[in-house]
Amino acid sequence: MRLMLCGDVVGRAGREAVCEHLPRLREALRLDLAIVNGENAAHGFGITDKICAEFYDAGVDVITTGNHVWDRREIIPYIEGDPRLLRPINFPPGTPGRGYGIVRLADGREVLVANAMARLFMDAIDDPFAAMDRLLAEHPLGRVAASVIDFHGEATSEKMSMGHFCDGRASVVVGTHSHVPTADHRILEHGTAYMTDVGMCGDYDSVIGMKKQGSVQRFVRKMPGDRLEAADGPATLCAVVVETDDATGLARRIAPLRVGGLLAPAWPDFAREPAPAK
C-alpha cells in the first residue's frame, strides 16, 4: 500500500499547494491513501467545514489536526458529524470528535489513521503513549492492512520515543507541528516507518508559515505586537510517502516529498513518474 501524509497546511498558500498538486501526486505515486494535517489551514489558525470540503474534493481521505484544532470555533459542532476529521486522541474524555478512524479503501483493505498529541512544551493533556498502546492493541496489523499515526508535538525526543514505542505495531509514525521537515526518515528496527517531522505545507519565506516581520518583532520586543498573518508567497508542499507490505502491514520504504516554493525539491525514487519540473 502507498500512502502519503502532508504536514501542517498553513493558510491559503498551503491549501492551494495541496489542492493543486494532490490529484497529480495521487496518480504519479499510485497512492492508496492521502492524509493532511489541517490544523493551520484557516489563515494559520484552525480549520473550517468549507476547507475540509476543499481538501476532500482534492482527494484527501483523512484530515488530522493538533493543538490548533479548535481555533475556529465553528468546527466544534461540525467535527461530530465528520468521521474523516480527527483531533488528538488523548484530549480528555468528553471532548467532541474522534482521535482515530478506520478508512476502508475501494478494494476492501482497511487502514487505521490516528492522531495523538505530545505533552512536552505543550498543553497538559492525557498520556499519548497509553492512548496509542490501547489503540494499537485494539487494531493490530493483520486486522487492519496498515496503520498511520500523526504524532503532533514540539519535542523531537518525545516524537522519537513514540516511534520506538510503536515500532513493529504500527506501519507509520510521523511527527507534525514544528512546521520544519527533518532529515531522519527511516524504517525503525521492527518495521515502522518514522520521520520526526514532516514539515509544513506553506510559504517558507516566513516564520513557520506566518509573515516574518510580526513574528520576529515578538522576539525582539517582549510585546504581543500585531496579529500574526499567514505568509502568502508560493508554498512548498512537504509530505512523507510510505510503502507498506500488505502481508505484514509493516513499512517497506519511506521517502520525503517536497514540491514547489523555497525548499529544495524531494521526490521518492520509487515514484512511477519523474519529479515535476517545478
Any residues with CB less than 8 A from the CB of 276 and at least 6 apart, and which?
Answer: 21, 24, 259, 267
40 scored as a contact of Fe ion (CB under 5 A): yes
Catalytic-residue membership of 68: yes
Indicate if the alpha-carbon torsion angle 136, 194, 122, 82 is positive or negative: negative
Closer residue to Fe ion, CB minimum distance, 8 or 150 = 8
On the CB side of 151, CA atoms within 13 Å amount to 33
Closer residue to Fe ion, CB minimum distance, 40 or 147 = 40
CA gap 76, 215 in Å, rounded: 28
Please state the closest distance from residue 88 (CB atom) to Fe ion, in A.
Answer: 10
Amino acid in position 144: V
Binds Fe ion by CB under 5 A, chosen from 8, 16, 150, 243 = 8
CA gap 67, 58 in Å, rounded: 24
Exactly one of 21, 43, 68, 164 is catalytic; name it.
68
Q: Is 48 exposed, middle or buried (0-12, 13-18, 19+ CB in 10 A)?
A: middle
Quote the distance between the C-alpha of residue 14 and its chain's center: 13
67 scored as a contact of Fe ion (CB under 5 A): yes
Binds Fe ion by CB under 5 A, chosen from 21, 177, 185, 211 = 177
Please state the closest distance from residue 126 (CB atom) to Fe ion, in A.
Answer: 17
Helices 11-28 and 49-58, interaxial angle, to 10°?
Answer: 30
Closer residue to Fe ion, CB minimum distance, 177 or 211 = 177
Under 8 Å between Cβ of 89 and 116: yes
Taking CB under 5 A as the binding criterion, the range among 36-44, 89-97, 102-110, 214-222 that sits at the site for Fe ion is 36-44
- Other CB atoms within a 10 A radius of the CB of residue 41 amount to 31
Please state the closest distance from residue 181 (CB atom) to Fe ion, in A.
Answer: 13
Please state the closest distance from residue 7 (CB atom) to Fe ion, in A.
Answer: 8
CA gap 10, 51 in Å, rounded: 12
Please state the closest distance from residue 199 (CB atom) to Fe ion, in A.
Answer: 10
Number of residues that bind Fe ion (CB under 5 A): 5
Site string for Fe ion, 125-164 (x = CB under 5 A): ----------------------------------------
Closer residue to Fe ion, CB minimum distance, 65 or 244 = 65
Taking CB under 5 A as the binding criterion, the range among 2-10, 24-32, 90-98, 228-236 that sits at the site for Fe ion is 2-10
What is the binding site for Fe ion (CB under 5 A)? 8, 40, 66-67, 177
User: Looking at the annotation, which residues are catalytic?
Assistant: 68
